[in-house]
Amino acid sequence: MEGTTSAEVADDLSHDLCALARTLVNDLRSPLAAVRVGAELLIRPDLSQLQSQRVARNVLVAEARLEEILSDFTLRLIDAGIRSSAKSCAISTECP
């Protein structure tokens, strides 16, 4: 990008990472809620064995979805040139 300063490139990257983080957080909410509700149901003493098995299967499906989301996120980071071995960074509550 001719004429682009390193500060502009850094700002663009920061903005892109923030958008990606927002997407990740939104995508994680549903499967995490399914795991939480499933766990709450599984500790109920009045749940039949069949009901427990169904809930456990739903929890496993939600966990698989979480794994898929995190794998996709990792691939996006790699595509963006960010390696998992890179120094950890602080995530602020506000994005640029």
pTM over the 0.95 mark: no
Three-state DSSP state, 91 = coil
Alpha helices for the chain (secondary structure H)? 6-42, 49-79
pLDDT of 79 > 60? The answer is yes
Q: How many helices (H) and strands (E) in the chain?
A: 2, 0
Residue that wins the pLDDT comparison between 20 and 95: 20
Residues for the chain: how many in total? 96
What average pLDDT does the chain have? 81
Q: What is the mean pLDDT of residues 58-82?
A: 87
